[in-house]
Chains A and B, each alone.
Chain A
Amino acid sequence: MDDSELAAASARGDQEAFTLLFLRHREFVYSVAYKVMLNQDDALDVTQKVFMKLATCIGDFSGRGSFRGWLCTITTNAALSELRRPYRREIVTEPDRLPDQPGREPNPREHAERSERHVMITKAIEQLSPQQRAILLLQCHEDIGPAEIAGRLELKASQVRVQLRRAIVRLREIILKPSRAGEE
């Protein structure tokens, strides 16, 4: 069964269908949450919250568009809301260390998967704000423009455009800097 059928079955109360959706998408939801929040524990909390919310609002999925895209919207909003909570700890949690960083023994599988360039890009993206990362995630997963992203994140379109532009320009400088240094 595809995601739309599972969602429809879940809306009718089919626990098995919902569990299948959960198993199919929990890693995706976690990845999206982590990329906004940059903390594994927080991302796990948000993942659980997203699926708890989904259990009550699965019937809201209209079937238009991809289920994963809908899930991405819910997750980014949940992650941003979590970060905006007023009673959240003031101490900013350090982003999880990447593999091959001092203080953490690199996982051989992770080390194999991550090239030096990928590490550099990840670091660059992690320097952006959570909102900028959320915007980038939605654009990458949904292939939508700033106007639609603004609607999903309940932001102004002009705000999204500015954030997106700044993110792209900044990342381009960082990503292309080593190659430009080589040319010189």
Chain B
Amino acid sequence: MTESNKERLIQYVTQDLPPDARARVEAELRQDEKLRDELLELLLTRDEVRTWATTPAPGVEKTAKLISPTLPARSTHRQARWLRQVVATALVFAMGYAVGNFEGAPSTISRLPSAESGNSTDPQVQLPVTENAHQPVPGATSTPATEASPPASEAEPPVYTRQEDGRVIVQTVLRSSGTRATWIVDGEFRIAQSDSTPQ
């Protein structure tokens, strides 16, 4: 029995051979009785070690004294979620404010978007139909602003409404056109304009 044979057998038993090398060892084993005896001894050793590894250790009954640790508090998760909603809402407001200011403040304001005004073609402002924007949002805890749009010179603060399902409804008035816009923030940073009843 050569040392290299013994070495390969140990590698075979400890799963340290690639498939082709394992196949060669197995072919040799079929023909060499001494190699088989050597393998048997190694397998016996391995089995004894496995028995040792899987047998409970002395003193294991003392683990009954141990106490299960407490998981970290869940409130941090809820706070993070609420914080994300607040940040998302603030972003929406900032975007709406920026868009409104970016369009400028014309002296004459057309309440309703029209084809002539060109606002409806502005890619940054895809406005819903104005009359739907005046409908109260179901489930909202605050009443939207009154039907009459304020003059552009007066800045109407946005109205935030948090729904029970966690979504935030933001209603703003674009300064340039006086058009109302409704933004829905659903907590996943999706911004959806809806002129229909939220779900």
Contacts and interface: CB of A to CB of B under 8 A. Distances in A.
Contacts of B50: 140
B58 to A, nearest CB: 6
Interface string B27-71: 000000000000001101110111111111111101101101111
B71 A13 contact: yes
B14 interface: yes
Contact of B72 (A40, A56, A145): A56
Nearest to B77: A13
B15 interface: yes
B106 to A, nearest CB: 53
Residues of A in contact with B, size category = 35 or more
Contacts of B46: 168
A56 B77 CA distance: 14
B66 A47 contact: yes
Q: Is the interface of B mostly helix, strand, loop or mixed?
A: helix
A136 B68 contact: no
B25 to A, nearest CB: 14
Q: Is the interface of A mostly helix, strand, loop or mixed?
A: helix
A125 B41 CA distance: 16
B147 interface: no
B24 interface: no
B14 A164 contact: yes
Interface string A18-45: 1100110011001100110000100110
B63 to A, nearest CB: 5
Given A51-B68, A140-B53, A143-B15, A26 B63 contact: yes
Contact of A22 (B15, B48, B58, B68): B68
Contacts of B14: 139, 145-146, 164-165, 168
Interface of B: 7, 10, 13-16, 41-42, 44-46, 48-60, 62-63, 65-66, 68-72, 74, 77
Given A125-B52, A168-B46, 13 more contacts: A15-B71, A18-B69, A34-B58, A34-B60, A40-B57, A40-B58, A44-B66, A54-B69, A55-B70, A125-B49, A141-B53, A172-B45, A176-B44
